Amino acid sequence: MISSELLTSLGIDHQRKGAEFVLDCPYCGKDRHLYLNVSGAFKCHHCSESGGWARLRKEYGAIPSIQAPKDKPFSLPSEEYVRGCSKKLLGPSGASAVEYLYRRKIALEQIHSFRLGMDTKNGQPVLVIPTFEDGKPVNIKYRTIPPAEKQFFRWPGGKSALFNADILKTLKDDDPVFVTEGEIDAITLSGMGFPAVGITGGAGTINPEWIEQLERFKKIVLVYDSDNAGRGGARKIARRIGLERCYNVILPTKDVNEFVTQEHTKDEFQRLVAEARQFDVENVCSIHQAFADLSREYDKQHDATCLSPHWPSVEKLTGDFQAGDLIVVSAKEKTGKTTWVLNMAHQWAKQGHPVLFYCLEMRPSRLVRKLIQIVLRKRDEELTPKVLLDGYREIAEYPLFWGYNYKKVAADVVFETIRLAWKRYGIEAVVFDNLHYLARDITHQVQEVGYISRSFKLLAEELEIPIILIAQPRKIQRNGIMGIEDLKDSSSIGADSDQVIILYREKTKATEGGEASFKPETLIRVDASRYKPGGETLLYFDGATGTYAEIAGSRVTADDEDIARWD
C-alpha cells in the first residue's frame, strides 16, 4: 500500500490527486506527469513508462527485498518498416489492396495521410494500418484483403494507443472530437473533414490514458457501430468520459464506413450529427430508453461473459450477478468468507474483467500473498521468495485492483474511491470487506449500518456493476447455520440486497488445550434472492491452499439429512 508517509520517508516529492499520487518522472524528467496508484501501479503520461512499485522504487534507490521482474518494454514497429509497407502498397504488388481501399471509399489522400501499407502474413497479403504517437509508429493493425477470410492481427508487443490521437493536439477545447469504434471508421470520417480518433481493440475497450487524452474537450461525438456491442460500447465510454459531454450518432447502417460506401453524402452524415442526442439524464428516461434497457438486460442475461460464481453448483443457485446487483456474503468468524470471494475475484480477473477488491482488514500485500497461494495452490510454508516471484509473474497482468484506506475509514471516502477506480480502470465488479468495519457510530450503529448498506446498493445501480458486500453476523448462540435474520445490526441489509449468500462449516471438537477447527465441507446457502428461488450446495475448502472445489453430487436441499443434522 502506497501512502504519503512512505513517499515522504523515501524523499519523493509528490502531490495527492484522488486515489493517486502525482510525481516527477525519474525516466524522462518531466515534472508532475507520473501517476502512482495506491496499489503501486504507475504510468508516466509523457514518456509512457509504466509498471509496478518495485520497479519505480528502485529508481529512487530503495531496493525491495523481493525483486519483481522488470516490466516488458513495448516492442514498437520501426519507421523503416512502416515506410517499406507503404511502398509495397503503392507498388505493383499492392494493386489488390488499393482496389479494396477504393471500394471502401478510402481515397489516395487518406492512404498517404495515414501511411497505410501492405505486407504478407501467413502467406497472404494483408493491409497495414499503423498507429502513431508524436509522429512515431507504436502499433500496427493488420487486416486480410478480400477474397481472403476476414482476419485481424496486431503487432506483437505494440502499445495500445488511441488511433489518430496526434490530431487532438491541433484542436481547441471547443472543437468537437469524433470517436469511432475502429481505425477504418476514423479514416473515413477524417476523409469527410471530421476530426476523428479510433478506439483500438473493440467497442468495449477503454484505456485510462485515452480518457485523459479526451478530458479537455467539451463535446465528444460518438460514432460507434449500430449493433448491440457498439451501442453498449458507446454508453460505456460516455459514462467514463462524462455523459454531459457526449453525443451519440445513430447510424442507419452497420458503421460509418458502410454509410459512405452506400453512397450517403457528407450532408446526410452532418444531419445525423445534428440529430445526435445526449444519453438520458440520470434517473429519468423515456419509454423508448426503458425498452432499450430491457433489451440490453436480456442480452446480458444471455451473455456467456456475465460474472457469476465459477462453481457450477453455486452458479445454479445464484445465476449471473447483474449490473446494479448487491450481493451480501456472510458467515461466522474464521469460516473463510473473504477467501471465498477472493477465489471468485481471481477467476473474473483471470478472464479479463477488471475487479476492485476493497478490504479494510487486510493490507494489499497480504491479499496478494493469499492470491498467489490460491493461484499456485501452495501451502503457507511453501511460499518462499522464489515461489512468490513465480506467482507474481502469473498474476501480474490480471486487472485486479486493491482498495485500502490507510488512515481515514469513512463511507464517503470509500464510495468516492470506488467511483474514481471505476472511471479510471473500468471496474466491472467490486468486492468490499466488510460493511461493519465502516460503521463506527456506537450510539446509532443500527441506523448507520442501514444507511451504508443502502448506499452500496445505490452505488451498484449508479455504476451499473455488481457489488459483493461482506457483512458480519450477530452472535449466534446455537451451533447451527445462520440465516438472513442473523445479519448483524440491521434488517435493512437483507432488504437492500439482491442476494444473501451464507457460508457455513461445521466445527470439530476442540482438542485438550487447543481451539476448535472447522470441517472442510462448506455449505453455501443462497438464503434470499430477488430473482432466483435460492437453495443450498456444498463445496470443499482446502484451508492450506485457500481454494474451494466442487463436491461430486453436492447439490442439496433443506430436507437432506446433512442439513437437518447441521441445523
State the pLDDT at residue 558: 39
More confident residue, 151 or 533: 151
- Residue 85 shares a structural domain with residue 41: no
State the pLDDT at residue 28: 60
Model confidence pLDDT, tens digit, residues 402-441:
998 766 678 888 999 999 899 888 899 999 988 888 876 6
State the pLDDT at residue 79: 96
Question: Distance (Å, rounded) from C-alpha 179 to C-alpha 202?
Answer: 12
State the pLDDT at residue 553: 59
- Residue 367 shares a structural domain with residue 260: no
- Residue 471 shares a structural domain with residue 364: yes
- Residue 379 shares a structural domain with residue 483: yes
List the end-to-end C-alpha distance of the chain, in Å, as a whole number: 42
- CA-wise closest residue to 84 among 108, 106, 116, 110: 116
Model confidence pLDDT, tens digit, residues 47-81:
677 777 766 776 655 434 444 455 557 889 999 99
- Residue 124 shares a structural domain with residue 234: yes
Among 154-163, 214-223, 493-502, top mean pLDDT goes to: 214-223
Q: Which amino acid is located at 338 in the chain?
A: T
What letter would DSSP give residue 410?
-
* SS3 state at 453: helix
* 455-460 average pLDDT score: 91
- Residue 233 shares a structural domain with residue 359: no
- CA-wise closest residue to 506 among 518, 490, 496, 514: 518
* 263-280 average pLDDT score: 90
* Residue 520 phi, psi dihedral angles, 5° rounding: -75, -25
Let me know if residue 541 belongs to a domain.
no
* Residue 79 phi, psi dihedral angles, 5° rounding: -60, -35
State the pLDDT at residue 339: 93
Helix ranges restricted to H, 262-384: 266-275, 287-301, 312-318, 337-350, 364-376
Let me know if residue 205 belongs to a domain.
yes
State the pLDDT at residue 563: 37
- CA-wise closest residue to 189 among 216, 224, 162, 161: 224
State the pLDDT at residue 407: 62
- Residue 113 shares a structural domain with residue 42: no
Model confidence pLDDT, tens digit, residues 464-487:
899 999 988 877 655 677 777 878
With 80 as the cut, is the pLDDT of residue 144 above it? yes
| Domain final residue, candidates 466, 486, 503 | 503
- Residue 50 shares a structural domain with residue 143: no
CB count within 10 Å of CB 169 equals: 8
* SS3 state at 215: coil
* CB contact burial 339-349 (16+ within 10 A = b; e otherwise): bbbbbbbbbbb
Phi-psi region of 395 (alpha: psi -120 to 50; beta: other; left: phi over 0): alpha
- Residue 53 shares a structural domain with residue 84: no
Let me know if residue 567 belongs to a domain.
no
Helices 337-350/364-376 angle, 10° precision: 70
* 255-276 average pLDDT score: 93
State the pLDDT at residue 567: 38
Q: Is the Cα dihedral 204, 207, 212, 217 positive or negative?
A: negative
Let me know if residue 315 belongs to a domain.
no
State the pLDDT at residue 20: 82
Model confidence pLDDT, tens digit, residues 363-375:
888 899 999 999 9
Nearest-5° angle of CA 209, CA 44, CA 22? Answer: 100
Q: Residue 545: how many CA atoms within 13 Å on its side-chain side? A: 11
State the pLDDT at residue 514: 53
Let me know if residue 20 belongs to a domain.
yes
- Residue 116 shares a structural domain with residue 163: yes
Question: Distance (Å, rounded) from C-alpha 46 to C-alpha 28?
Answer: 8
What letter would DSSP give residue 76?
P
- Residue 397 shares a structural domain with residue 460: yes
Question: What's 478's domain CATH number?
Answer: 3.40.50.300
- CA-wise closest residue to 401 among 351, 360, 325, 345: 345
Question: What's 155's domain CATH number?
Answer: 3.40.1360.10
With 80 as the cut, is the pLDDT of residue 271 above it? yes
Tell me the residue range of the domain where 115 lies: 79-275
* CB contact burial 488-515 (16+ within 10 A = b; e otherwise): bbbebbbebbbbbbbbbbbeeeeeeeee
With 70 as the cut, is the pLDDT of residue 222 above it? yes
Model confidence pLDDT, tens digit, residues 509-553:
655 555 557 889 999 999 877 777 778 999 999 989 999 999 875
With 60 as the cut, is the pLDDT of residue 362 above it? yes
Q: What is the pTM for the complete model shown?
A: 0.57
State the pLDDT at residue 267: 94
Let me know if residue 203 belongs to a domain.
yes
* SS3 state at 442: coil
More confident residue, 224 or 496: 224
With 70 as the cut, is the pLDDT of residue 554 above it? no
pLDDT-based confidence at residue 559 (cuts at 50, 70, 90): very low
Output the nine-digit C-alpha cell for 209. 490514458
State the pLDDT at residue 63: 39
CB count within 10 Å of CB 89 equals: 22
With 70 as the cut, is the pLDDT of residue 203 above it? no
- CA-wise closest residue to 429 among 354, 344, 334, 539: 354
Output the nine-digit C-alpha cell for 364. 494489499
State the pLDDT at residue 372: 93
pLDDT-based confidence at residue 560 (cuts at 50, 70, 90): very low
| Domain final residue, candidates 241, 275, 309 | 275
| Domain final residue, candidates 485, 503, 521 | 503
- Residue 220 shares a structural domain with residue 192: yes
Q: How many domains does the chain have?
A: 3
Among 204-213, 349-358, 401-410, top mean pLDDT goes to: 349-358
463 CB-near residues (< 8 Å, 6+ apart): 418, 419, 422, 427
Please give the mean pLDDT across all residues of the chain: 83
With 70 as the cut, is the pLDDT of residue 228 above it? yes
